[in-house]
Structure 1
């Protein structure tokens, strides 16, 4: 699995925010166990989520905890009853009407066993109050969750947009690289076989005098400015010396580089310095490594380019 692409897909954000179906949640949890990078990414997202929740958390009303604990401690007392909201307080005892009545002899009644008074009514009121407080907190939590969901949805949308933009830029870059590489390859292919390339004009340079029987072929491509040399019949120079090729430009010699000679390289093409203009070529014998200026008394051979 391409871990980095999986991390940047946005599925981990959905997992942390609880917006994935159970099947995909299982896949993420499996990836967390298998890949440390995925586990680290999930941990980082969970930490960011916790910080976000803490930043926008809705605090409960001040003193609500103290009031709840005090109401529990003073349960079934007038003080505790006064701490409850009006709708949850026990009704006050009905006052006497203040009138005196003639005392009459009460009829004999059958004694009734007094049952213990339960605290159900008072407990019910207390639990109703606690429930109301919990509902208030729950509503606050729901509002917070809705706000957080809206924010996370907005961030997820922006994240997907950034990913799409990044992928498009990478695709454009790859396409440009391929086009550039194709252009480079095309230029290279044109130079692969200068001997068969019609853009190259080959000039055979033969020697005279001390260099009679020596022969060098030079190919020049006016379009690409490429220059190649083949030392077909050229002796090895004296120690400390090397043959150098010159392009003839407006009756002046322009350095085209030194080259190797001998039987070992007689069939090889040697790439020389590029030339924008050339009317012919000449060869001189220079010190090893070449010379910036030609030794005119050491010109071995020369020839003009056939038109």
Structure 2
């Protein structure tokens, strides 16, 4: 069981990059062996602690500014009048009669946003880099934890040697 737990399958599963076969195998081992379940729970708890320790608190007043912006949008939405056009002389025979700060409500059949094809590669690259950095963060976290355990063992050994 120790070899299975140390094989890295738990880390792969927690990062979300395990294959279907690895997930099935892990679920089987988790159900059959409580050590695997305990190790998985410990790893998930460690990942939550890592995320909590790395979290950055927003500056004071951020929530108030967000709330004010939302309230302002709601107030503006209630007072928006549709833009009216009149058939006077203009570029296409139409001239805009409403002020420039008015919005024209538009309904669309699709809720999907269209992007230029070059942006798809940028988003894909950012996604891949994010996964790579996440992998490095987990790796270095686990290495740090292992080093701290080894350091604690060495301290214990030094104390025992001093007592003799």
The TM-score with structure 1 as length reference comes to 0.28
Question: Could you say which structure has the higher helix fraction?
Answer: 2
Report 1 or 2 for greater relative contact order, CA contacts < 8 Å, sequence distance ≥ 6: 2
Give the alignment's TM-score, normalised by structure 2.
0.48
Larger Rg: 1
Query: Which protein is richer in strand relative to its size?
Result: 1
